[in-house]
Amino acid sequence: MDLKDSLSRFKQQQERCQSSLASIAANQALTSKPKHRAQPINAPSVPARPSQPIKFSNDTERLQHINSIRKSPVGAQMKLVIELLYKTRQAFTAEQINETTYVDIHGNKAVFDSLRNNPKVHYDGRRFSYKSKHDLKGKDQLLVLIRRYAEGLAVVEIKDAYPTVMEDLQALKAAGEVWLLSNMDSQEDIVYPNDPKAKIKVDDDLKQLFRDIELPRDMVDIEKELHKNGIKPMTNTAKRRAAAQIDGVKPKPKAKKKQREITKRTKLTNAHLPELFENLNT
């Protein structure tokens, strides 16, 4: 009897120990779960999203894209970097450029040397940044620069100074601060300063006197008047006329356009008017 009692008590102790271990494991599982945001009582329960399997195709495409960039010509890689520097106007290290454009500057000496020596790129020994011809920060500095060039400044020299330079240029033109004209020879825009000191009011009588001045009708007389006032004319009409008389050069008469003759082979569209075709060439 004593042995049976001992066995029964031992089984009871084992059951209590197992229940204690089970409760401890359950408590640990509850505390280790991540905290979720509280949901409203009436909100529908959202089923847990199954973890999606990893797709290796996207990574393969990215690696192929990186490989195509790094195997592209030096000029193409430089273009990617310079576009990044131009659009952001920030300084980037070689590592940051690699992360953004996949251009490995440290791994390609030709790209590194070309960027370092490019006139549009500034390299301080660690970072690369965009370098324009004129270092301008806004509209006020732009106006100061234009006023330094009384004979005009080509727009192409300032169009990359900062991102909104063209908008500021149009604003200065609208405000009457500058003149924006096109050069017919070079087919490029030139900006001129509108000097506020030159804004004067002219009397109507003086304007009328200027309009009443009659200019010589002969080009030779105009050139003589220019010489009298110390201005060298761009033409020499007297010399040109004398050379034409010596060489016997006469202006070529305009060639008359040969009138098309109507023959019997000509396709007639006004056959109902026979009087137009009385003199047909045979």
DSSP 71-118: TS-HHHHHHHHHHHHHHH---EEHHHHHHHH---STT-HHHHHHHHT-
Q: What are phi and psi of 93, to 5 degrees?
A: -80, 170
Q: Specify the pLDDT at position 172.
A: 93
* Contact indicator for 223, 236 with CB cutoff of 8 Å: yes
Rounded CA gap, 102 and 100, in Å? 6
- Lowest mean pLDDT across 8-17, 71-80, 207-216, 239-248: 8-17
Q: Specify the pLDDT at position 50.
A: 52
Q: Specify the pLDDT at position 12.
A: 77
| DSSP 8-state assignment for residue 159 | T
| Token pair of 111 as six digits | 């790209």
Q: Classify domain 139-193 at the CATH class level.
A: mainly alpha
Q: Specify the pLDDT at position 75.
A: 92
Read off the pTM.
Answer: 0.46
| Token pair of 220 as six digits | 């030779």
Q: Specify the pLDDT at position 46.
A: 46
Average model confidence (pLDDT) for the chain?
Answer: 78
The identity of residue 54, as a single letter, is: I
List the beta bridge partners of residue 89.
none
Rounded CA gap, 86 and 109, in Å? 22
Q: Is the pLDDT of residue 210 over 90?
A: no
Angle at 63 between CA 60 and CA 64, to 5 degrees: 85
Q: Specify the pLDDT at position 249.
A: 55
Q: 139-193: same fold as 61-130?
A: yes
| Token pair of 136 as six digits | 């301008």
Q: Specify the pLDDT at position 170.
A: 93
* Contact indicator for 128, 94 with CB cutoff of 8 Å: yes
Rounded CA gap, 225 and 139, in Å? 44
80-106 average pLDDT score? 92
Torsion angle of the four alpha carbons 7, 10, 12, 15, in this order, in degrees rounded to the nearest 10: -130
Task: Give the tens place of pLDDT for each residue, 224-242.
Answer: 888 888 888 878 888 888 8
Nearest by Cα to 82 from 109, 101, 58:
101
Nearest by Cα to 264 from 281, 247, 276:
281
Residue 137 — very low, low, confident or very high, per pLDDT cuts 50/70/90?
confident
Give residue limits of the domains in the chain: 61-130, 139-193, 204-247
Task: Give the tens place of pLDDT for each residue, 29-42.
Answer: 555 444 444 454 44
Q: Is the pLDDT of residue 102 over 90?
A: yes
Regarding predicted confidence, which is higher, 142 or 199? 142
Q: Specify the pLDDT at position 41.
A: 47
Q: Specify the pLDDT at position 26.
A: 65
93-106 average pLDDT score? 92
* Contact indicator for 268, 277 with CB cutoff of 8 Å: yes
Q: Is the pLDDT of residue 243 over 90?
A: no
CATH of segment(s) 61-130: 1.10.10
Q: Specify the pLDDT at position 43.
A: 44
Q: Specify the pLDDT at position 61.
A: 85
Residue 269 — very low, low, confident or very high, per pLDDT cuts 50/70/90?
low
Rounded CA gap, 140 and 208, in Å? 39
Q: Is the pLDDT of residue 79 over 60?
A: yes
Rounded CA gap, 106 and 99, in Å? 13
